[in-house]
Amino acid sequence: MGNRLHATNDGLLATSEQHKWLDLIDWRRSIAALYDEVRNQPDPRHAHQLWRQGRDRLFRAHPQSPLTPDDQLREQGLPYWPYDPALRWTPPLEPVDEPRKLVLDTGTDGTTSFHQVGVIKLPSPFEAELAVWWLEGYAGGLFLPIRDATAGSTSYGGGRYLLDTAKGADLGGTGHSLVIDLNFLYHPSCRYNSDWACPLPPAQNTVTLAIEAGEALTPR
């Protein structure tokens, strides 16, 4: 989830601006293809390695990379905690008695609206109940952002994303359950570049313990 902010002149798109939109389509297509490859891997640890390699490749060279041209992460790669197999579950998407609506500020380009479609419960030691949201724009999609106790220290202060099916970030599931693997938590694009606008996790999606998994601010 996240969009680069654009300015136009009298609604007319120059050729360079058209190329940006086509690049954005290719970025989303590439993300979707990467997650499709991840879901088809029988070994979650190997799937996570492929995911890291794919993200590094896109962040290094793709025209829609949120990294600035001089960002050292282009060469160093994005930092992560080591993979922990104990942080993967397939919990059911449970109903809620009073689904909420959520309107999140995405920066200078306005707001993004969601409505809650259920909750997933993280087991011990987290014992957290997280709201799962449905994006009302685009063609819809599940959105699961999380802010945990690492936010502002070892991970981005605004929180991280786990699922964003509108952009293809989907780990799969069976029946009425979702694959929840906290090793796949990643930073929104606004962590790297203020030109991007991203909805951030609401208070309902706060985990009081530190989730030392997924993408980090510095190498672990």
Tens of pLDDT along 43-60?
999 999 999 999 999 999
Distance, CA of 41 to CA of 73 (rounded, Å): 27
The answer to whether position 20 is within a domain reads yes
Distance, CA of 146 to CA of 185 (rounded, Å): 8
Cα 6 to Cα 30, 112, 134, 197, 202: the distances in Å are 21, 17, 25, 11, 26
Cα 135 to Cα 111, 138, 179, 208: the distances in Å are 12, 8, 19, 25
The answer to whether position 183 is within a domain reads yes
Between CA 196 and CA 199, with CA 198 as vertex, the angle to 5 degrees is: 165
Higher pLDDT, 195 or 148: 148
The answer to whether position 80 is within a domain reads yes
pLDDT at 138 over 80: no
pLDDT recorded at residue 199: 86
The answer to whether position 211 is within a domain reads no
Put simply, whether the predicted model's pTM sits higher than 0.95 gets the answer no
pLDDT-derived band at 137 (thresholds 50, 70, 90) equals confident
* Residue appearing with tokens 């510095």: 218
The answer to whether position 212 is within a domain reads no
- Asked if 78 and 56 count as a contact pair (C-beta separation under 8 A), the reply is yes
| Domains: count for the chain | 1
pLDDT-derived band at 6 (thresholds 50, 70, 90) equals very low
- Asked if 83 and 183 count as a contact pair (C-beta separation under 8 A), the reply is yes
pLDDT recorded at residue 2: 63
**DSSP symbols for 203-214:** GGGB-SS----S
Element of type H or E holding 131: strand 128-135
pLDDT-derived band at 7 (thresholds 50, 70, 90) equals very low
Structural domain including 119 reads 7-205
The answer to whether position 219 is within a domain reads no
Tens of pLDDT along 92-133?
999 998 889 988 776 556 788 999 999 999 999 999 999 999
pLDDT recorded at residue 124: 93
The answer to whether position 218 is within a domain reads no
The answer to whether position 157 is within a domain reads yes
Distance, CA of 144 to CA of 63 (rounded, Å): 26
pLDDT at 9 over 60: no
pLDDT recorded at residue 20: 84
